[in-house]
Every structure is written in structure tokens, then in C-alpha cells.
Amino acid sequence: MAGIILFLLFSGIFFSQAQPFIKLSVKDYPTLTRVIIDSSSPLSFDIEKSSSLLMINIRTDVPFRIQRGAFESRIIKSFGWSKGEDFYILAIRTKVRNFGYEYFTLSDPPKLVIDFTQVDEEESEARAGLKEKEASGEKVPQPSTALPSPRTQAVSPALQGMKTIVIDPGHGGLEPGARGRFGTLEKNIALEIGLKLKAVIERNFPSRVVLTRDKDLDVSLENRAAIANNNKANFFISIHTNSSFRKDARGSETYFLSRDATDEEARRLAFMENNPTELEEGITGESEDEIQMILWDMAQSAYLKQSSLLAESIQKELNLLLRTSNRGVKQAPFTVLAGVACPAVLVEVAFISNPREERSLTREGFQVNVAQAIYRGLVNYIELNSQK
């Protein structure tokens, strides 16, 4: 009898651990509310908006355990769900009727991430009026005079004040940057992510986005900074992939300018980025003097504090969204940052020298997620620091 009881007890424990689950969590950010749906296995789903509800139809032929902790949110009111024969319906009830949403998925581990934003009432009514006119055949305004997207209408004054953002895809042309084990080139990955970051910024708030290069071109480090200054940039973001002699090195790093590197690896990385055609083991005294002179002569020294805060905000989002190893915010004497007269950071997205991360870097979904993370970090920085 005791043996039977123990067998049933351990069988119950094993079953509860092995049973598929969905875990719900909610977090408010300055410009949005994020719902994260963690799953023990990949999700197959459809999403439909209905009044103040967002309905998620999850197709599955196995029962799920649904976990939800307590939460407080300015947009999300509650969750509800019902089970059919081969599906679950998850209903997310909002506190407002007019809301916008965007979503994306992550594969390792499986996640569905939904970002909710509140839409202005007047805009919603105007859009409804346009639809009625279209249905009745009445002439409607041409695209040039049509209402902008919900996110554009909903942005705060702080975001509306951002006139120009310069994105710098690292390397290019005859300078390929680091090369992965499978032949992936840093210059190509940096350009792909840069183009995606430009698209997500332009889609979400009214800023002019300038790329230092939009194709496979040679652009000097000095000209990259000049492009930012000539366009009176509010922010400068340089995109790169990392490389290390240690094949197990992994994760993201975000840098801001300093004459002294955080550690020897940061020092070596800055030297490789500053001198891509040279193979010395370290930075010479002459190079250090040159960087120090640039720091004193150029306007970037006035923006080091803002740059450090921007780097922290972007790094936080990379850690949250990509679930890569947190290697933290670091400092190094990058020439490309030295001459820029605005907050400036350099993002080392992942290690192209790590075969696993190299594969991820070539995937469009991963590149989109990186662009989203950098964008969220930028927006959070602007929102938080506009009030100071």
C-alpha cells in the first residue's frame, strides 16, 4: 500500500511538471504596456480585436496549465480563457475601448509578446468616420492628407521633439569587419539590423532617420561622425557584431565613449574597430594620445552622461527581449563615437565568432528582435529623461 501511495505521489509530481503550460505576465512601460505569454512549447495562434478585448485563439490538442500572477496595469484589466476541443481562447480585457497593439514571437524559449498602446478618442472617431465614407462611396482624403498611424498620434511631446536620429551600420565596402565561422560578415549583419531599426523608428514616431550607409559602401569613421553633426542628430547609434578569441563568448554589449576601456577585452575591441586593417595586439601610446585629444577637442565630452544612460537603457532591453547573456554596459575609446555632438552609443549585438550566435544573427526574426530592443531602449531613455 505504501508503495502504491508513493508511486501515485511521484506520478502526480512528474505529470504536473511535464504538463504543458502558458504563463502570463504584464508590465507597464512609459509608452506602452507589454503582455508576455511564456509557453512550454511553440504556439500556433490567431489574434482578433473585439471592442475592449483582444482575443487570442491558441490551437492545441493537449491540455495546458495557465499561470497568472497578480498585476497592476494602466491598460490591462484582466485575463479570461475558455477551452474547446482543440483550442484555447485567451481574452485580454483592457480598461479602454480604443487601443492599438503590435506583437512578435520569440522561439527560444517560446514567447508571444504583445505591446498595447492607448489610442486617442478623437482619432478613433475620425477613423471610424473615414470607414463609413469609404463604405458609402463618398470621396475620402488622399493618402497625403489621411490621418497618421495610431502610434504617431499617441507619442508624447518628448518623442515628438526628436528631430533626427542617425543609425550607423558598422564597417562596409572593403572593410568587412569580423567574420564568423560559417563565413558571415559583420558588415552585412550590421546593415540588415540598421535598415530594420530605421523602419521601426519611422513607423512608430515622427523622426527623421539618417543612415551613415544604406548599402555596401566604404565610409570612414570621421565621415560617420560628420554625417551625424551635419544632420544635427539628437542621437547616434552605431551597430556592430562582436568577436572574441574565446569561442564560447556570447551575449550583447553596449558601449559609450571613454578614454579608458572598462577591461582588456573592451580595449582590444576598440582597437580592432578603430584600426580594422592593423593586427597589433594593443593600442599604442600614440593612439591613446590621439583619442584623448579628440575627447577634449570634440563636443562628445559634453554628452558622456547622457550616452551612458542611453547605453544602459538599450542594454536592459536587449537583455529582456533577446534573453542573451548580460555582458553589461562598458566604456572604450571608439573613434566613431568621439566626434559626435549628441548622445552616442555603440551596440555589439552578439558574438559572430560564436557559431550559435552567428546562426542567430543571420535570421531575419532575430534581426527584427534586435531592432525592436534597440528602439525600445531609445524610447524608454527619451521618456524617462525628458522629465528631468
Per-residue pLDDT of 165-177, as tens digits, reads 999 999 999 889 9
In the three-class reduction of DSSP (H, G, I as helix; E, B as strand; rest coil), residue 89 is classed as strand
Query: In three state form, how does the secondary structure of 5-58 look?
Result: HHHHHHHHHHHHHHCCEEEEEEEECCCCEEEEEEECCCCCEEEEEECCEEEEEE
Residues 6+ apart with CB under 8 A from 143: none
Which of 262, 242, 357, 354 has the alpha carbon at shortest distance from 308?
262
Residue found under cell 551635419: 230
Cell 527560444 maps to which residue? 108
Across residues 208-231, what is the average pLDDT? 91
| Residue predicted with more confidence, 197 or 100 | 197
CA 34, 253, 162 angle in degrees (round to 5)? 60
Angle at 224 between CA 219 and CA 230, to 5 degrees: 125
Mean pLDDT check: name the lowest of 161-170, 194-203, 213-222, 285-294: 285-294
Question: Each residue of 375-385: b (16+ CB within 10 Å) or e?
Answer: bbbbbbbbbee
CA gap 187, 167 in Å, rounded? 14
Looking at residue 189, what is its pLDDT? Answer: 97
Exposed e or buried b per residue across 34-59, where buried means at least 16 C-beta atoms within 10 angstroms of its C-beta: bbbbbbeeebebeeeeeeeebebebe
Cell of residue 18, nine digits: 511535464
Q: What is the mean pLDDT of residues 218-227?
A: 88
One DSSP character per residue, 253-264 reads EEEEE-SS-SSH
What would the mean pLDDT of 144-160 be, rounded to a whole number?
A: 43
Q: Which three cell numbers stand for residue 63?
A: 491540455
Assess whether the previous peptide bond of 109 is cis (omega < 30° from 0). Answer: yes
Residue 339: Cβ-neighbour burial (10 angstroms; 0-12, 13-18, 19+): buried
pLDDT at 151 over 70: no
Q: Please tell me the predicted confidence (pLDDT) of residue 75.
A: 92
Q: Are strands 344-351 and 235-242 parallel, antiparallel or unpaired?
A: parallel
Q: What percent of the chain has pLDDT over 70?
A: 67
d(CA 20, CA 134): 46
How confident is the model at residue 198, as a pLDDT? 95
| Residue 318: closest CA among 375, 365, 262, 356 | 375
258-277 confidence digits (pLDDT tens): 654 444 454 454 444 544 54
At 48-93, the pLDDT tens digits run 787 788 888 887 777 778 888 888 999 999 988 777 666 778 889 8
Take residue 56 and report the three cell numbers written for it.
Answer: 487570442
pLDDT band at 1 (very low <50, low <70, confident <90, very high): low
Write down the pLDDT at residue 270. 46
CA 147 to mean position of chain CA atoms: 27
